[in-house]
Structure 1
Amino acid sequence: MAANAFTGLLNSSADRHSLFDDAQGIVAGSMLAVLGVSLLSGAGLLAGGTAGLAFLAHYATGFSFGLCFFAVNLPFYYLAFRRMGPAFTIKTFAAIALTSILSEFVPGFIGIGHVNPIAGALFGGLVIGAGMLALFRHRASLGGIGILALYIQDRLGWRAGLVQLGFDCLILALSFLVASPSIIACSVLGAVVFNLTLAINHRKDRYIAV
């Protein structure tokens, strides 16, 4: 009986992930996201979404990115539960918690010193995009603002993409309080690379497993 239950945790099919599949996807996605964040942080760059809010809080207060990232995502779990359901919310909470914890310890194991801002934007945006792809394909996420955008679209009829863009523009405007125009320009480059990575590689009609 126990052997059958264990085997069930490992078995997956073309259209359904096993529990083990989801676990390794969340761990891998979180690890890639932390590596990308480390590259952005080494270059002094910022990001969009809740990661951008966490960077702003980190640079403004001196608190660690991991702590700020976990804290700014707390208000979005209710929306995630209402909009996406309990499974998505639990996996997203696990991904955010793991990313926050790894962000505390990874710099002690992988020392990233000075990073050229353009290189940090290109490589950081790409690596975070790859991490988000892994999470998306296992029905998880790292960002609360995207969920808020979907919620506003449902309630008010505003297009989620425009809502997301509005929030990112607001974060960008606030960035002038803690960063120079050149750093902000490189941060925009990183956001473009990140979003292109998702737009080109994440399509529901090509990847259907749940």
Structure 2
Amino acid sequence: MTAVPKKHWPWISGIIFAVCACLFLAVVFMDEIFSVFEYDSHNAERQDSMTNIRRFRDEINKYISEHDGKYPDGKGVHGLCQLDGIVRYSDLAAKDDRNVLPDYDVMRESNTSYAYVASGLSADRTDAPIPILFEKPWGRSRILVLMSDGNMRIIDNKDLKNCRQVIRYLQASSPGDLKVWNILNENAGHIDECHDR
């Protein structure tokens, strides 16, 4: 094998530089492509959860109109099971929730992605919007919350580890009757106990 003459070194080093630059750009480009696909997948899963919460909102409103303004009285997931439009247990799980057990033959709190906290309340008893239902906070960077006025709120999960902490966080930014917030906190505590949190 013969040595490359020194007069060709700049040319060869230019080729090596160009190949390295192309490889670097290819890696950056592939990273961008994968992050777009990951974002689209995550966005689609979030849309699924929003669709579920909208369906819960519609079913809860229907229930309220048929029950003298009262929210379903079952605690946690059992309140959601009182809604006519919820026909399968799998309706209670978001596709992006990796914490839900895949056991849909038995209804238990651990089989749902959502925390229903309005048990024991009436729609006319709330003087300010309160949370009715929200995504359970573990494993989420953002939490979708259904408020009593029908609006959906998105909160950043700032180290919220259980449902009681979500209620306290929402209470800090919403005025209202302390008795109502105490009931919400008690209902959230029931859900936390079912999850050992």
TM-score normalised by the chain length of structure 1: 0.34
Query: Which protein is richer in strand relative to its size?
Result: 2
The structure having more radius of gyration, on CA atoms, is 2
Which has the higher relative contact order, 1 or 2, with Cα contacts under 8 A spaced 6 or more apart?
Answer: 1
